[in-house]
Amino acid sequence: MIEHLAMICTTLSLMTSMIQISLHFLNYNNPKLQLHICRIVGMVPVFAVQSYLIVLYPEKSLALSALKDGYEAYVLYLFTQLIIEYTGGEYHLICLLITRKSIKRPWPMDTMKPIQLGEQFYRNVKQGVLQFVFLRPIISVLALILAGWNLYEEGDFSYNKGYLYCSFISNISVSISLYYLVLLYTVTKDSLDKSVFYKFICVKSLVFFSFWQSCAFALLIKTGIFGEENEAARNSIIYQNLLLCVELVIVAYYIWKSFSFKEFLQKEKREYSVIKSVGEVLNVKDILDDARDTFSGVDDELNYSGYTWED
């Protein structure tokens, strides 16, 4: 019964997301935006297939979760890039930051000194988001290694086991990433179309609830709700991923609405190769190059002083 429900939900979310991606490729009229949108929509099939496989093979959950964990962090970076493109690109965004000069910190830090905006703030945002992109897969690999040494088990918060420390580091890392993403959105929201707000809520909710849902299930193991101790971890993994399979049907619908291909429809389509466009979406070289430039300080030579948003 559980496997059948998971399969039905996975099939529905897969069909929805793959049709949506195909429609974007058939109307690929704004590559700078649709490149990131197609990658973001791709999280639905990645999450769905991974969750379904874990329902079938819960003993392999740690290895199967690695791809989802990495893609979860990847999506936060993609949405950051999407906001940058919606504001007109890096140049226009930094001009906007220079013009605004400062921003009040979000609650509960609103009594502290305002955040100074500018090129350094832009770099801090990129670094704050990218650290999670690289740290999350490292934590997943570390968990696999510790599990091989019998030092890691889902839901085991013992001080001499790795789950407690991996969860703590992941929590700090994702919080930093979401904090900077919220700051960027707060600064740019007046310059963005209202539809971006729904995109923001959609992405933030999925990443936020996916992470904290796993933490909640880990805590529930201790209550005995999932059975005896030797079966509790296995049952928790199955039900957690079954719930995710069901949730992804709803997520796929809202992503369909929020990241619609319709905003890119044109009477006269530009000439392009669908195969080449698919290759661009799958090729992550642009992300690696951006990460290198962001952390190495290559862009320090750029000079935006003297420019205004009106420029």
Average of per-residue pLDDT across 258-269: 82
Among residues of the chain, what percentage have pLDDT more than 70? Answer: 87
Task: Say which amino acid occupies 296.
Answer: S
Nearest CA to 180 among 124, 131, 108? 124
Cβ atoms of residues 207 and 76 within 8 Å: yes
| The pair of three-digit structure tokens given for residue 46, joined into one six-digit string | 């990645």
pLDDT of 96: 84
pLDDT of 17: 93
Backbone angles phi, psi at 115, to 5 degrees: -80, 130
Domains and CATH numbers, the chain: 2-93+119-295 (1.20.1070)
Chain-centroid distance of CA 153 in Å reads 25
CA distance 95 to 306: 9
Cβ atoms of residues 181 and 76 within 8 Å: yes
Which of 101-105, 170-174, 209-213, 286-290 is modeled with the greatest confidence?
170-174
Predicted confidence band at 309 (pLDDT cuts at 50, 70, 90)?
Answer: very low
pLDDT of 311: 46
Cis peptide before 114 (omega within 30 of 0): no
pLDDT of 240: 84
- Tokens 């013992």, residue located: 158
Nearest CA to 68 among 86, 48, 97? 48
Average of per-residue pLDDT across 59-63: 83
CA angle 252, 254, 256 (to 5 degrees): 65
pTM above 0.75, yes or no: yes
Instruction: Report helix, strand or coil for 103.
Output: strand
Q: Please tell me what DSSP assigns to residue 118.
A: S
Query: Per-residue pLDDT tens for 20-47?
Result: 999 999 888 888 899 999 999 998 999 9
Task: Say which amino acid occupies 113.
Answer: K
Average of per-residue pLDDT across 76-86: 88
Is pLDDT at 301 greater than 60 in this prediction? no
Is pLDDT at 15 greater than 90 in this prediction? yes
Query: Per-residue pLDDT tens for 120-159?
Result: 888 888 999 889 888 988 998 898 888 888 888 776 778 8
For the chain, what is the radius of gyration of the CA atoms? Answer: 21
CB atoms within 10 A of CB 61: 22
pLDDT of 163: 82
CA angle 121, 43, 23 (to 5 degrees): 105
Q: Is 69 exposed, middle or buried (0-12, 13-18, 19+ CB in 10 A)?
A: buried
Q: Return the beta strands (E) in 83-180 as ranges.
A: 102-103, 115-116
Query: Per-residue pLDDT tens for 223-251?
Result: 666 666 667 777 778 888 888 899 899 98
Of the listed ranges 85-99, 100-114, 229-243, 268-282, the least confidently predicted one is 100-114
Label residue 30 left, alpha or beta by phi (over 0 means left) and psi (-120 to 50 means alpha): beta
Among residues of the chain, what percentage have pLDDT more than 90? Answer: 14
Is pLDDT at 306 greater than 50 in this prediction? no
